[in-house]
Chain A
Amino acid sequence: MNREEIIETLKTIIEPYSEDAAALADIDENTDFIKDLKINSANLVDIVLDVEEKFNIEIDNDSMAKMLTVKATTEIIAQKLEEHAGQ
């Protein structure tokens, strides 16, 4: 799965958690979940749990703390998928 595919999948995960249709339409690498999409910390947890399920990976506390933007989240997903592939 390449970065673009990860971002596309991520968009479908994020969509139900934001009320801001305009910001959702403009999602790119620099989108910040809390500042741009107005997602609260409780829904951020749900997004991370959905990411785990959708990509079949496990997110630890340190990774979770970094997952505040689309870019950081995509990087973590890509890294976890690579670790998975190497096993």
Chain B
Amino acid sequence: MTTEEILDQLPYGKPFLFVDELLHVNENGAKGTYTYAKDLAFYMGHFKNHPVTPAVILTETMAQIGLVCLGIYLLKGIGTDQNISIAMTSNAVDFLKPVAPGEQVTVTSEKVYFRFNKLSCKVKMENAAGEVVCKGNISGMLIPKENG
């Protein structure tokens, strides 16, 4: 399965797609990038006159690249071609540095386990300078739908 095929399978659309490029994916993890465009709507209010990327958006970006892209790859790997229902079920993330509008980030995930449709990963996000901006553990359920 190619990285383009995985991106095509992502169930997100604008303004809630936070994956630009999937650099590589294998059964142990995924790596990809996203650039936060300066005109994203949430910068108007987070914060007033002082735009910073919200932590919840950083978490979502880590989940979309690190967990969902990897999960799609893993489910295809076990031979299903159905659509997939996705839900984040837990996360524990430390935020070390702010991410400004216009910054590009790189997300790298490492699979901890994928059992009984639950995927758990160690995920980190780095900025263009290679500094870790946030890291933690994220888990979610990825359930193939019967009538894709």
Contact = CB atoms under 8 A, between A and B. Distances in A.
For the residues of B in contact with A, the DSSP-based class is strand
B90 A42 contact: yes
B113 interface: yes
A61 B90 CA distance: 22
A57 interface: no
Interface string B86-100: 010110000000000
Interface in A39-78: 40-43, 45-46, 48-49, 61, 64
B116 A64 contact: yes
B95 to A, nearest CB: 23
Nearest to B88: A42
Residue among A45, A48, A61, A64 with the highest chain B CB neighbour number at 10 A: A45
Interface of B: 87, 89-90, 113, 115-118, 139-141
Interface of A: 40-43, 45-46, 48-49, 61, 64
